[in-house]
Amino acid sequence: RSEGLSMALLEQMMAGLAIVATDVGDTSRAIEHERTGLLVPPGDDAALGDALARVVGDVGLRRRLGAAARERALGEFSLDAMATQAIDAYQKAGAIL
């Protein structure tokens, strides 16, 4: 029922796949509902089924979500982006780099 930020999720985003995920842990940090994927409440089988049916049945939605997920993953979660964020955090904390 809980997970940090899933590497599998980030890999799927970077591959440009449409994401349907439960809203647990840090998933919502990566997935913005209806923009970069579809989030459903944990344990809600009906909502999960509906979201999967939407993605399977709508090619345009699948492509839009996949493209937006890839853009977000590359912009915020790539190695370069994460390194830049870490350096910025250290600099803000007063560390010398």
Q: Is position 41 within any domain?
A: yes
Query: 14-23, 35-44, 45-54, 68-77 — which is least confidently predicted?
Result: 68-77
Interatomic CA distance for residues 19 and 6, integer angstroms: 12
Q: Report yes or no on whether pTM surpasses 0.85.
A: no
For 3-9, the CB contacts below 8 A with 24+ separation are 3/27, 5/29, 5/30
State yes or no: pLDDT of 8 exceeds 70.
yes
Domain count, the chain: 1
Q: Is position 2 within any domain?
A: no
70, HSE (Cβ side, Cα atoms, 13 Å)? 11
Q: Is position 53 within any domain?
A: yes
Reported as a single tens digit per residue, the pLDDT across 55-97 is 999 999 999 999 999 999 998 887 777 787 788 888 888 866 5
Q: Is position 71 within any domain?
A: yes
The per-residue pLDDT for 84 is: 79
Quote the domain boundaries for residue 74: 7-92
Place of tokens 């910025």: 88
Interatomic CA distance for residues 15 and 78, integer angstroms: 12
Q: Is position 82 within any domain?
A: yes
Q: Is position 97 within any domain?
A: no
The per-residue pLDDT for 2 is: 60
The per-residue pLDDT for 50 is: 98
